[in-house]
Structure 1
Amino acid sequence: MTILDLTADAAEFDVRPSPEHADLVTFTFIEHGAVLSKHADEPWLSFGVSMVVSPEGIERRVRFDSPTRLLSVRVPSSELAGFVSDLPLRPIAHDDQRMLDRALNAFLNAVMSSDRPSSAIDKYAIEHLVLEMCGAILLDRMGSVWTHGAPGTALRDRALAVIAQQCEDAELTPARVARAVQSSLRQLQAVFAEVGLTIATEIRRHRARLARATLINSRFDVLTIAQVAHRSGFGNPMSLRRALHDVYGIGPKELRRTRDQSA
């Protein structure tokens, strides 16, 4: 995860991302000024003061016509996959900043304006909070962008929020999610099916996300795999192992070993 604060006068330049940036999603707040961007021979896209969510790894040309300030955070796609089933494939601008958008913007400003060195605990907390806010923004926004106004969007979004907040509870079931959003189980299953999802699969995917975040954090190395499974809402290590393989293509021990090798 990387936070960037960029201030520039009028300029035009090419952005050629390196391969390691291909698995990133960027949340950019245009504090003032405007940004124009284009890919290959496509027309220029203009972004005024707004929040822009975009995938990285796409070569493009960028232009500032006036003094502009950008505040961005780059988040690994794999960290966001547990929040929503589909990530943006193109830049999407949101002019109507909502509460979560404003909260992330303010938090990033606070982080960048701090004049004291960050401790290990600070860095862990910042990364955790930014990830949760970015994931929550995608959940909040996916109804109007990723599901293209399909019927039941509001109900599905409320259910996804419940799942994201309560996935570590081993007693969370589709029926309980339905009760939490004041819907019948049949109706909620139907609105999930509209976009090719199931409630149970989303619960499992969010639990896998939580388990992965625990396993790649050295602070939790004192936990056994069984304890990680319990902490993430899984009934046993086998359920955890299968979910991680299905969602991320890797097992719990391999996650820890790969992290140690790349450290």
Structure 2
Amino acid sequence: MLTTADVPDRDRTAFWNEAVSRTLVPMEVSPRGDGPFDGRIVTDRLAYLQVSTVEADAQRVSRTRALISRSSQAPVAVGVQRSGTATLVQDGRRAEVGEGDLVVYDTTRPYSIDYPQRFTTHVFQLPRRTLSASDTALRSVTGNAIRTGDGFGAILLPFLTTLASSADGHPPAVANRLAGMVVELFDTLITEETRSRGREADTPNHLVQRVRDHIDRNLGDPDLSPERIARAHGISARYLHRMFEGEGTTIGRLIRQRRLEECGRELARRSRTAPTVSAVAQRWGFVSPAHFSRAFRAAYGVSPREWRDRCAGRPEAGLPLSTG
């Protein structure tokens, strides 16, 4: 358990930022109150599943692209709101979360969560590879509040609540079986939610998601372009550009952004035989090393080599880099 109880008032915000980033994923945490901040995190492991209970004062947490690129791991998370309320924003959607609601969020993409008053939440984190749900199905449920008054959510809520309070102390064989049950339940939840929302594969929202998935699968192709993406999905380049007008970006910017994120993540990874900067750039679709360096510096404020050196020297993998 990590708690601010024994931390001097002046140091509590910094302590809480580090505690949250170490326990969950690297995030920026901004307390909302004026008085001394109070919070605690209790975490247990259940095989490959991590179960954490967070009880804290009002705050806002943000998972930014820069923090994502520094993370060696990026699990899928399911939150169970036990008390208080929250507002989750991810993938352009805004979810108002009340007591008893569930939310799914993918830590490989930016998100923010606002907690306007003191709250308690259970956070279940599991590796993306354990879920059989497609990227499109997963993206369709992120940024939405899942009610638990009836349907599958009503079945899932008591199980998750009980598991959160008794996750530790199980023999390895039992822990593995329980973790497997949770994965199956989450897969079912994603499937049911996707079906209940009635989203057809050819609706604009799903087409945007399919395009995003296509881009992620083909980032290493230097010839990836809006025209080729449009042809692969049977639409015109003009319609493709129009679809992304509401996404706050363009296809070209999205491709460059995703390539830079993957390059940043690979350069930050600790390894005895670290690849060269030019090799990383080429692997993620950058033809010109000079163009890659300029684009990387514009996005992250340092050169690729400086980024790699700073990440290699930080004391704890996955923690935000010092700006001092």
Query: 8 Å contact 2:82–2:119 — kept in the other structure?
Result: no
CA distance in 2, matches of 1:165, 1:238: 24
What root-mean-square deviation, in Å, do the aligned CA atoms of Structure 1 and Structure 2 show?
4.4
Report the alpha carbon displacement of residue 197 of structure 1 after superposing the two structures with TM: 1.8
Structure 1 residues 45 and 177, CA gap change in structure 2 (3 angstroms): closer
Q: How does 1:128-147 map to 2 (within 5 A)?
A: none
Residue 15 of structure 1 is aligned with which of 18, 34, 57? 57
Equivalent position SS for 2:118: strand
Q: How does 1:100-111 map to 2 (within 5 A)?
A: none
CA distance in 2, matches of 1:162, 1:152: 15
TM-score under structure 1 normalisation?
0.56
- Give the aligned partner of residue 60 of structure 1: 117
Residue 254 of structure 2 is aligned with which of 183, 202, 211? 202
CA distance in 2, matches of 1:92, 1:15: 23
Structure 1 residues 206 and 59, CA gap change in structure 2 (3 angstroms): same
Structure 1 residues 38 and 226, CA gap change in structure 2 (3 angstroms): closer
- Give the aligned partner of residue 244 of structure 1: 296
Query: 8 Å contact 1:155–1:188 — kept in the other structure?
Result: no
Report the alpha carbon displacement of residue 178 of structure 1 after superposing the two structures with TM: 0.9
- Give the aligned partner of residue 165 of structure 1: 217
Query: 8 Å contact 2:221–2:284 — kept in the other structure?
Result: yes
Aligned length: 190
Could you tell me which amino acid in structure 1 is paired with residue 282 of structure 2? H
- Give the aligned partner of residue 122 of structure 1: none
CA distance in 2, matches of 1:217, 1:114: 32
- Give the aligned partner of residue 137 of structure 2: none
Could you tell me which amino acid in structure 1 is paired with residue 211 of structure 2? A
Give the gaps of 5 or more residues in structure 2.
1-20, 25-42, 44-50, 69-75, 88-95, 106-110, 127-142, 174-189, 198-202, 316-324
- Give the aligned partner of residue 306 of structure 2: 254
Query: 8 Å contact 1:22–1:58 — kept in the other structure?
Result: no
Query: 8 Å contact 1:14–1:59 — kept in the other structure?
Result: no
What is the CA deviation profile of residues 76-133 of structure 1, one whole-angstrom value per residue up to 9, with x for unaligned ones? xxxxxxxxxxxxxxx8523499xxxx9xx9xxx9x998949xxxxxxxxxxxxxxxxx
Report the alpha carbon displacement of residue 170 of structure 1 after superposing the two structures with TM: 1.5
Report the alpha carbon displacement of residue 192 of structure 1 after superposing the two structures with TM: 1.4
1:181 maps onto 2:233 in alignment = yes
TM-score under structure 2 normalisation?
0.47
Could you tell me which amino acid in structure 1 is paired with residue 57 of structure 2? V
What is the CA deviation profile of residues 173-231 of structure 1, one whole-angstrom value per residue up to 9, with x for unaligned ones? 11111122221111101111243321111111111111011100122753111111111
CA distance in 1, matches of 2:233, 2:240: 9
Equivalent position SS for 2:119: strand
Report the alpha carbon displacement of residue 16 of structure 1 after superposing the two structures with TM: 5.8
- Give the aligned partner of residue 82 of structure 1: none
1:37 maps onto 2:37 in alignment = no
Equivalent position SS for 2:271: helix
Could you tell me which amino acid in structure 2 is paired with residue 15 of structure 1? D
Equivalent position SS for 2:247: coil
Could you tell me which amino acid in structure 2 is paired with residue 203 of structure 1? I
In percent, how many aligned pairs have the same letter?
A: 22
Larger Rg, first or second structure (1 or 2): 2
Residue 225 of structure 1 is aligned with which of 277, 284, 291? 277
Report the alpha carbon displacement of residue 72 of structure 1 after superposing the two structures with TM: 3.5
Structure 1 residues 252 and 192, CA gap change in structure 2 (3 angstroms): same
CA distance in 2, matches of 1:198, 1:254: 28
Equivalent position SS for 2:215: helix
Report the alpha carbon displacement of residue 71 of structure 1 after superposing the two structures with TM: 3.0
Report the alpha carbon displacement of residue 153 of structure 1 after superposing the two structures with TM: 2.9
1:94 maps onto 2:151 in alignment = no
Query: 8 Å contact 1:163–1:203 — kept in the other structure?
Result: yes
- Give the aligned partner of residue 84 of structure 1: none
CA distance in 2, matches of 1:49, 1:223: 44
Equivalent position SS for 1:60: coil
CA distance in 1, matches of 2:116, 2:172: 34
CA distance in 1, matches of 2:272, 2:261: 15
CA distance in 2, matches of 1:221, 1:58: 42
